[in-house]
Amino acid sequence: MKLIILDRDGVINHDSDAYIKSLEEWIPIPGSIEAIAALSKAGWTVAVATNQSGIARGYYPLSVLEAMHARLRELVAEQGGEVGLIVQCPHGPDDGCECRKPKPGMLRQIGQHYGVPLSGIWFVGDSASDLETALAVDCQPVLVKTGKGPRTLAKALPAGTLVFDDLAAVAAQLLT
C-alpha cells in the first residue's frame, strides 16, 4: 500500500505557540486539504500523528480535538478524498508516555494498524522532533516550510531530509 504520515499543526493547519485550542482556531493552510484529497484519490492512505499536550495541560478537552479532526475529515471528503487513521498523543512532556514525539509510538501504531513496515514511509512535519521521530523508525523525514518549518530549517537537519514549501508541494512531488 501507499502510505504517507503527516504531522498536523503547521503541516495541515496553521500552528500557534499558544496552541490550537478551539475549532475556530483550527484553520487549514491553503492547499493542504486539496493535497490530502488528491493523494487519497490517487490511492494513497494519508494518516496523521499529532502531539496534543494541550489536552494534558487542560487547554482544551478531547471533545474539541475530536471536533477538529471531524472537520478535517469533512473538508477532505468534500474534495472527494479520505483521511486515514489519526493518532494523537494527549500527554504532557513529563508524563513519560511512549507516544509523544520524538518518541515513535504513534508512527508504530499507524504501521501496526495498517500492517505495513514503516521503513521508507514519508513522515511529513514542520518540527525537528518530527524529523527525529521519522528517523527513529526508519521513515523518510520530510520537512515543510509552513508552521515552525522556517525555524526548523534554520538549524541542522538530519542527513537525507527532504524539504518542500508546503504539503501541496509534497503531494505534487508524489503525484508526478
Interacting residues toward Mg ion by CB under 5 A:
7, 9-10, 126
Which of 154, 47, 34 shows the shortest CA–CA distance to 109? 47
Cell for 114?
A: 495498517
Shortest distance in whole angstroms from residue 9 CB to Zn ion: 15
> From the CB of residue 1, how many other CB atoms can be counted at a distance below 10 Å?
9
CB nearer to Mg ion: pick between 17 and 115: 17
CB nearer to Zn ion: pick between 99 and 118: 99
Which DSSP symbol is given to 59?
S
Shortest distance in whole angstroms from residue 25 CB to Zn ion: 22
Please tell me the distance from the alpha carbon of residue 136 to that of residue 32, in angstroms, as a whole number: 26
94 included as an active-site residue: no
Query: Which listed residue (9, 15, 130, 166) is catalytic?
Result: 9
CB nearer to Zn ion: pick between 37 and 89: 89
Residue 100 binds which one of Zn ion, Mg ion, none, with CB within 5 to 8 A depending on kind? Zn ion
Terminal CA-CA length for the chain: 18
Per the CB < 8 A criterion, the answer to whether 85 and 48 are in contact is yes
Residue 9 binds which one of Mg ion, Zn ion, none, with CB within 5 to 8 A depending on kind? Mg ion
Task: Select the residue whose beta carbon is closest to Mg ion and give its number.
Answer: 10
H-state helical runs in the chain: 32-41, 53-56, 62-78, 105-114, 128-136, 149-153, 167-174
9 included as an active-site residue: yes
Binding residues for Mg(2+): 7, 9, 126
Binding residues for Zn(2+): 89, 91, 97, 99
List, by residue number, the catalytic residues: 7, 9
